[in-house]
Structure 1
Amino acid sequence: MAIHDLLLAGGHVIDVGGGHVGRYDVAVRGGLVAAVAPRLPAGSAREVVDVTGRLVTPGLVDLHTHVHPGATYWGIHPDPVAWHSGVTTWVDAGSAGAWGIDALRAAVGSYRVRVPALLNISALGLTGRTGESTDLAHADVDAALDAAARHPDLVVGVKARIDRETVGAHGVRPLERALEVARAAGLPVMAHVAAGPPGPADVLPLLRPGDILTHCASGVAATGAGPVVREAYARGVLLDVGHGAGGFAFDVLERQLAAGLVPHTVSTDLHARSRYGPVFDLPTTMAKLRAAGMPLADVVAAATATPAAALRLPGGVGTLAVGAPADIAVFAVREEPFAVVDAHGQVREAPERLVNTATYVAGRPLPPALPEPPPPWVPLTAAQRAALDRRDGALRALLGQPLVGPEELAEQFPRTFPRPERG
């Protein structure tokens, strides 16, 4: 008798958080991981999927994304990207502040993927491109604490963007208020750095162990591998890649790796401007860390168990531990050179490419979904627009054809009277 709903059989599993690395079968029952073992009986499951030769990981956890389109400058719908990238947990990094958290909550309820959120210290959130903390009154500690208390299952941290455009003349004061909220609510802070002042030298000394510096390998902010970065790293501040449209440079990452400053987490900062390049998706961003020399198992851990632990996500998210949500990603591994580019045009070569072949949330495969068109304010090159047009044309041509030919159909409602003779 079948006791499992699904059995993924024969895959190479990398589940650092759950302690499974190697050839394992993964069984699912009731939306949860039921068993992980080298060999499970095929007859124990109602559905068996042969994933021999494929890489099987926990559903990827992207620590820095922006959802909530239509209400924010940066937001995108996560589901159309999730189904072809393996990302089942999208951490929204500050799209909503105290004034918009209820609307974000309503939007999250319509997504198929999991979306915990970092509450923007600015009550405005990311309704605009930047400038949300130039009026310090928007960094309202009491309003933020109330928002976090009303949504304890949604709000898993506090986000503060600290750069000259965002904070104006206020320096690190919005970050100080974010830390005040975080201490009172028992949450970590994610601090964004970009063109300063303030810069990393102002931000990093304020961060506590377990707080997160995103855009850690920025070519715009002065991160690098200097004493301030080293001291923060030794103190337990977490370094997050947070690629984005301008937050990642290969040469900076390579200096950090040479100094032993390995990023704790790899995230995309995927949003309306970065999804068309240079980021594209999380597997492509993971390939950039591979190109810089990080081992595959370490890169997978940085996109699964480590970000989940950093935000104390409940229930085994980011692992395939028994009882964890059956969020699972399956990849074909194309072992061929793969050119990847950072935010500044520097190109490196990854040793392989991960191509997602299936993404499961709570044990069910995500269905295909078409992405929304880019909003009019997103700058695109002529080549990007032409590529989008080609993709639209290919989809139209594919979907405009009959799915199968006449000989591949069955009679669904047989006739109950004789067929007419053909003369």
Structure 2
Amino acid sequence: MSGDRPSARWDLLLTGGDLLDPGGGRAGRHDVAVRDGRVAEVGPSLPRAAAAEVVDVSGRLVTPGLVDLHTHVYGGATYWGIDPDPVAWHSGVTTWVDAGSSGAYSFPAFAATAARYAVRVPALLNISAVGLIAPVGESRELANCDVELAVTTARAYRGRIVGFKVRMDRHNVGVHGVEPLRRAVEAADACGLPLMVHIGAAPPAVADLLPLLRPGDLITHCASGIAAGPDGFDPASREAYQAGVLFDVGHGSGGFAFDVLEAQLAAGMPPHTVSTDLHSRSLHGPAFDLPTTMAKMLAAGMGLERVVEATTIGPARALGLAGGVGTLAPGAPADIAVFAVEHGRFELADVHGQRRASPLRLVNETTYRDGRPLTPRLPEPVPSWIPLTDAQRGALRRRETAVRRLLTSPLVGPDGLAEQFPRHGG
């Protein structure tokens, strides 16, 4: 790493890394130069002398900052919400799409909260004005699904709100069947925005929902064992897929089953986007983070390039995210993730305990947002209402002890210090 150079053309140069940028059409050994928070140039051998700071990332995988299409980051105000920053800095995720945590009633407060995060937080507006304040039930009172109010809110926050969200299962819609979905489609049509639909326990059945969706709308929890029911793969899903409905993984705490994903892959229906549905009940397992979810896709048989595409340019295109998010093309935001690639046999579990082994995993080493590394943040305490196993609680205690030991030991010994103020002023 070099010191500042007053005449430097670039602020930062990442050199020697193996770039994988499906959106930019680049793969292989490339350097990435950054100026004023944006990608300035990408090439195989950029001049080190032109950069104020040079970071050698040889032997590392460099990708665009990851885009997680389905998260819940309204921490402290909703049942599901978490603070993204303590996870972002060690996971490579620079864009966290909040998937309906807030409805029209609370969106101004959510927007203010999201503006304080170090990461980007575009949002999907819940068609229910009350949002996800509770575990379930936001659309059981149909008056909450106020189309006019949702449209007014989305137009007032154009650019921040990039789509709509509705949860369609019996726990959330009660006796109203597909009516909340009809209203969500009406609002999305009025604003020219996509719609994300959560699927789960019937009724309504997935086959009842799919005919209402438009090309470009998203089914999240697409590999849900709960939504699939006892018959597994739903033939109606193939028709929707072929018609242009996008499939999103949305792992979460109950939305991902290996066998359902494998059946979809065998049918030629890989997910368009891979997301975590990271929230207060999936953060400590079974989802953990996006690199772990990506490893599960590899374990199911997807290739690394396809998985990176589904966590960068795929979600960015699905939601029309502006400004080059999801790619490292020149002019794009310098949101960059640097990973060590570990090879081996890494056993992973889905939400039902089915296990598969991934041949590799990505371990984040640095996450840059607008060309600056995200700083370390300690994890937030676990809310009292979140169910944890004894093993999870024990792991959390061990982690806290390990962090305390690191921080209570002097950073360096006497040999690592220098005299900052000589006693005789020399």
The normalised TM-score by structure 2 is 0.97
Whether the 8 Å contact between 1:144 and 1:181 is mirrored in structure 2 is yes
Counterpart in 2 of 1:387?
Answer: 395
**1:216 is the counterpart of 2:212:** no
Given residue 39 of structure 2, which amino acid in structure 1 is its aligned partner? V
- Tell me how many residue pairs correspond in the alignment: 418
2:323 is aligned to: 315
User: Are 1:332 and 2:340 an aligned pair?
Assistant: yes
Deviation at 1:417, TM superposition (A): 6.3
Matched residue, 1:377? 385
Displacement of 1:147 in angstroms is 0.7
Residue identity (%)? 66
Q: What is the Cα deviation at residue 199 of structure 1?
A: 2.0
Q: CA RMSD in A?
A: 0.9
* Cα distance between partner residues in 2 of 1:111 and 1:415: 44
TM superposition shift of 1:416: 2.7
- Whole-Å Cα distance in 1 between the matches of residues 424 and 256 of structure 2? 68
1:34 aligned partner = 40
Residue of 289, 292, 301 corresponding to 1:284: 292
**Structure 2 CA distance for aligned equivalents of residues 356 and 70 of structure 1:** 27
Deviations 1:332-375 (A, max 9, x none): 00011111110000010001010000000000000000111110
Q: For the residues of structure 1 that align with 2:33 and 2:276, how far apart are their CA atoms?
A: 30
TM-superposition CA deviations, 1:256-296 (whole Å, max 9, x none):
10000110000000000001001000000000110011110
Give 2:235's match in structure 1, choosing from 227, 234, 237. 227
2:19 corresponds to which of 13, 20, 23: 13
Displacement of 1:225? 3.4
- Residue 372 of structure 2 aligns with which residue? 364
Structure 1 residue identity aligned to 2:115: G
Which residue of the partner structure matches residue 196 of structure 1? 202
Residue correspondence of structure 1 range 148-187 to structure 2 within 5 A: 148-187=154-193
Query: Which has the higher mean CA deviation after the structures are superposed, 222-231 or 131-140?
Result: 222-231
User: 68, 75, 97: which one pairs with 1:69?
Assistant: 75
Q: Deviation at 1:227?
A: 2.1
Letter in 1 for 2:423: R
Work out which of the residue numbers 201, 204, 213 in structure 2 matches 1:207.
213
- CA–CA distance in 2 between the matches of 1:229 and 1:143? 31
Match of residue 139 from structure 1? 145
- Separation in 2 of the partners of 1:12 and 1:210? 32
Measure how far apart 1:380 and its partner are.
0.1
Q: What is the deviation of 1:146?
A: 1.0
User: Which SS does the other structure have where 1:285 is aligned?
Assistant: helix
In structure 1, C-alpha distance between the alignment counterparts of 2:22 and 2:315, rounded to whole Å: 12
TM-score by length of 1: 0.98
Shift in Å, 1:19: 1.1
Mapped contact 2:12–2:33 kept (Cα < 8 A)? yes
The 8 Å contact of residues 225 and 259 in structure 1, kept in 2 or not, is answered as: no
Q: Deviations over 1:172-217 (max 9, x none)?
A: 1111100000000010000001111012111111110000000000
Alpha-carbon deviation of 1:410? 1.0
Instruction: Give the match for residue 57 of structure 1.
Output: 63
Of residues 85-94 and 403-412 in structure 1, the stretch that sits farther from structure 2 once superposed is 403-412
Q: CA–CA distance in 2 between the matches of 1:411 and 1:353?
A: 43
Q: 1:399 maps to what in 2? A: 407
> Residue type of the partner of 1:353?
R
Which deviations, in whole Å up to 9, do the C-alpha atoms of 1:201-239 show, x marking residues without a partner? 111111100000000000101274332101000000000
Q: Which amino acid aligns with 1:228?
A: A
User: Which runs of 5 or more residues in structure 2 are unaligned?
Assistant: 1-6
Residue 107, structure 1, aligned to residue 117, structure 2 = no
**Aligned twin of 1:2:** 8
Which one-letter code corresponds to 2:49 in the other structure?
G
User: Counterpart of 2:163 in structure 1: which amino acid?
Assistant: G
In 2, are the aligned partners of 1:199 and 1:222 still within 8 Å (CA)? Answer: no
Q: Contact (CA 8 Å) 1:69, 1:76: kept in 2 or not? A: yes
Match of 1:421 in 2: none
User: Partner letter of residue 398 of structure 1?
Assistant: L
Residue 228 of structure 2 contacts residue 234 of structure 2 at CA under 8 Å; is this kept in 1? no
2:266 aligned partner, one-letter code: A
Paired residue secondary structure (2:73): coil
How far is 1:302 from its partner?
0.2
Distance in 2 (CA, whole Å) between partners of 1:45 and 1:73 is 46
Unaligned runs of 5+ in 1: 419-423
Question: How many angstroms apart in 1 are the aligned matches of 2:347 and 2:323?
Answer: 37
| Conservation of the 8 A alpha-carbon contact between 2:66 and 2:93 | yes
In the alignment, is the contact (CA less than 8 A) between 1:225 and 1:261 conserved in 2? Answer: no
Deviation digits for residues 293-318 of structure 1 (CA, Å, limit 9, x no counterpart): 11100000000001000000000000
**1:271 partner amino acid:** H
| Distance in 1 separating the partners of 2:347 and 2:14 | 31
The secondary structure found in structure 2 opposite 1:88 is strand
Task: Tell me the equivalent position of 1:92.
Answer: 98
Deviation per residue, 1:87-144 (Å, 9 max, x gap): 0000000000000100110101110000000000000000000000000000001110
Q: Following TM superposition, by how much is the alpha carbon of 1:247 offset from its aligned partner in structure 2, in angstroms?
A: 0.2
